[in-house]
Amino acid sequence: QILLSGIRLDPPGEMPVEDLSLRFGYDQRGGEKWTGECAACGKWMGAIYARLYRNNVRCRTMFYREWRRNMWEWTAFVAVFNLVGGVREMDTTISDVSRYYEQEASDLLWSISKFLRGYLAVTMTYGFEERIFEFADMRGNGEEFFYPNCEISDDMYRLYFDKFTDSQQFCEYLSLATERKMFGTEVVPDHVLKYGNGELGTRTSAMIDGNLRSDGKV
């Protein structure tokens, strides 16, 4: 399995494959901190790594559990930043969200992080918020990223947004986008809209705060 995150694939014959990953500092042990790296796991991860390496694209190989964390981190990034920026009346880039709507995006990311732990037993890797904001700030200016502005569409809902409809805060943004007719007819289910508008009350996560197990045992 492969996660093509920090890479731009232009139409054949136009531009070569471009690596969008970047180094943004060092950790306490002196190791380099990277964001936007591609990732591969499974039987063919060595072949995938070699092919990307030949095209000067940075790729990490890892076990499935770590790859899954990276996949959810990228999915949360794409969903949150496009939704927060897409509901604005003016065109907004991914980079704009990281600079001017940081608190909104951060709140949604932590809401999703809690959802992933409670429902899917996936714990986001330490430093995920820093990596996401660094990548958004440096690569989300509309020129280097995949699309010029934040996008809200029916396809975005099916590919990204509907993965996080158990987060009430996320559903609030989906409700706002629906009110502004950014989705097609009946794309967002009624129960998601009602949840976002507070009509279904509040739902609590199966996870107890501060504990990775829902039964309270360490």
Q: Is residue 145 very low, low, confident or very high in pLDDT (cuts 50, 70, 90)?
A: low
Claim to verify: residue 171 and residue 188 sit in the same structural domain: yes
CA 135, CA 77: separation in Å to the nearest integer?
10
Claim to verify: residue 118 and residue 70 sit in the same structural domain: yes
Residue 107 is part of which domain span? 65-218
* Structure tokens that stand for 72 in this block: 């959810």
pTM of structure? 0.86
Claim to verify: residue 127 and residue 43 sit in the same structural domain: no
Claim to verify: residue 103 and residue 164 sit in the same structural domain: yes
What confidence tens digit (pLDDT) does each residue in 35-44 have? 999 999 999 9
Claim to verify: residue 126 and residue 162 sit in the same structural domain: yes
Return the closest-CA partner of residue 69 out of 94, 95, 47, 37.
37
Average pLDDT over residues 40-67: 93
What is the DSSP annotation of 101-123? SHHHHHHHHHHHHHHHHHHH--P
Claim to verify: residue 101 and residue 44 sit in the same structural domain: no
Inter-residue contact 202 to 168 (CB < 8 Å): yes
The DSSP call for residue 35 is: E
Claim to verify: residue 8 and residue 19 sit in the same structural domain: yes
What confidence tens digit (pLDDT) does each residue in 73-110 have? 999 999 999 999 999 988 899 999 999 999 999 999 99
26: pLDDT strictly greater than 70: yes
197: pLDDT strictly greater than 70: yes
Q: Which of 42, 62, 82 delimits the end of a domain? A: 62
17: pLDDT strictly greater than 90: no
Count structural domains, the chain: 2
User: What is the reported pLDDT for 215?
Assistant: 44
User: What is the reported pLDDT for 210?
Assistant: 46
User: What is the reported pLDDT for 66?
Assistant: 94
Average pLDDT, the chain: 84
Return the closest-CA partner of residue 199 out of 191, 210, 187.
191
Inter-residue contact 17 to 9 (CB < 8 Å): yes
